[in-house]
Amino acid sequence: MTLVIAGERSGVGKTTVTLTLLASLRRRDRLVQSFKVGPDYIDPMFHQHVTGRACRNLDPVLTSEAYVQQCFACHSQLSEYALVEGVMGLFDGIGHGKEKQKSTDFASTAHIARLLDLPVVLVIDCSRLSGSVAAIAHGYQSFDPRIKIAGVVLNRVGSDRHLSLLKDSLETLQLPILGVLRRQDNITIPDRHLGLVPTAELPQLNALIDRLADLGDTCFDWQRLLPLLKSEPLPHFPSFPTLREAKATSSSSPVRIAIARDRAFNFYYQDNLDLLQQLGAELVFWSPLEDAGIPKDVQGMYFGGGFPEVFAQQLAENINVRDAVKTAILQGMPTVAECGGLMYLCEQIIDFEGKPWSMAGVLPTSAVMGGRLTLGYRRAVALQDNLLVKANTTVYGHEFHRSHLTFTPTPPLFETSRYDCDENMGCEGWGLPANVYASYVHLHWGESEEIPQQFLKECLKVASSGTWI
């Protein structure tokens, strides 16, 4: 058993409810493992800050249904309690395979609940309703008989009278009310153009988590919740493959990979980092914002996504690092750069005010911030051999950005299309120099161990050459 926290739509307070539960559990010194449905990076940062354990993404598009089950089984059994935060509304997903035109809940919270055979707690935003809450709850309760609704959490309740009306309406459904959260003026997580502001940029975050824990201690029916949150062995789910250690690099000394991780670059799937380590790499974390240069004795670089546009001035002013990154790449350093990392390798980032900031200058293009959001799952077919995959390989990823490039690569890395239909989304991605992989498409490597293996293979060539000391 454990619980899935679902919403009746986006914006109802799933993340607040999830963090409140996690904060209260940690205050009780409970060891808890969290999961997040979908490709999101930022919500898992908040989970990890509260629990002290890396949150794991459950996304059958980026990985597979089997991987979702394996990931959940592996990590949930290492903790006393477990909790899954959903995505969007309970049944909001995408079309898939032969069912494209018949089903739209693939990769939805409901899909994950069915895959893992977990009960769901439905969060309802009650700020603009009273008696109608029963119609909403009944609809979600009866829509898919395979989904077990364990109860509801009533969020943004305005007063005792308001709560009384809500309870009276729900009484006929015999659906447990597992929590009641009143409207909170002193609990606000700031957001901006791509969602919540990441944890590293919130100096008052610990105080906020304390307030959430205080709230959680009083607003939930813990007598009912704790048994549902208990993590139990799941013998019917397959465990992770055991071949990863055997596939580790044979080098006598590990390949050292410089991982850019600071306020500008922090979008990484923990599973990707784990895979690199399991395949023999040593991860060296560093900051393009704060450090004076690239870490010593590394044979590869990995720039994840993030918010380089927010810190463009500071990145631009760290000239020594920009020059060192460019020099290393032009001399053959294998480098992976996703989304924000791609932007950093451009000649410039042009911010929302139209002001240009110089970047590493590896790619002959500029990243221009704008109002248009590029969002969605992608099917990407490699048009050439590159640092990570061979030509004609199909990978599945996710785009989420408000920038565009002034020049397109020639030739590009990928031809992309939407995951749930054949709509062509154009070509993208830079593979020149040949030791660079730069793309807007975020990849999860869990089902594609050949990707980090290929990256480390190229890094080993650098290590064996003795070029980098």
Distances (CA, A) of 320 to 117, 200, 264, 325: 52, 24, 17, 9
DSSP string, 245-287: TTTS---SS-EEEEEE-SSSEEE--HHHHHHHHHTTEEEEEE-
Sign of torsion over alpha carbons 436, 441, 445, 447: negative
339 is catalytic: yes
Q: Checking DSSP bridges between strand 436-439 and strand 442-443, what pairing results, if any?
A: unpaired
Spot the catalytic one: 71, 219, 339, 459.
Answer: 339
Of residues 59, 85, 106, the one with CA closest to residue 7: 85
**Which structure tokens are listed for 270?**
């923990």
Maximum distance among all alpha carbons in the chain?
A: 74
Dist. CA 272–CA 71, nearest whole Å: 13
Dist. CA 438–CA 340, nearest whole Å: 10
Dist. CA 200–CA 266, nearest whole Å: 9
Of residues 115, 22, 30, 18, the one with CA closest to residue 73: 115
Of residues 42, 34, 138, 40, the one with CA closest to residue 80: 34
Backbone angles phi, psi at 144, to 5 degrees: -135, 105
Cα angle 102, 106, 107 (rounded to 5 degrees) comes to 165
Residues acting as catalytic residues: 339
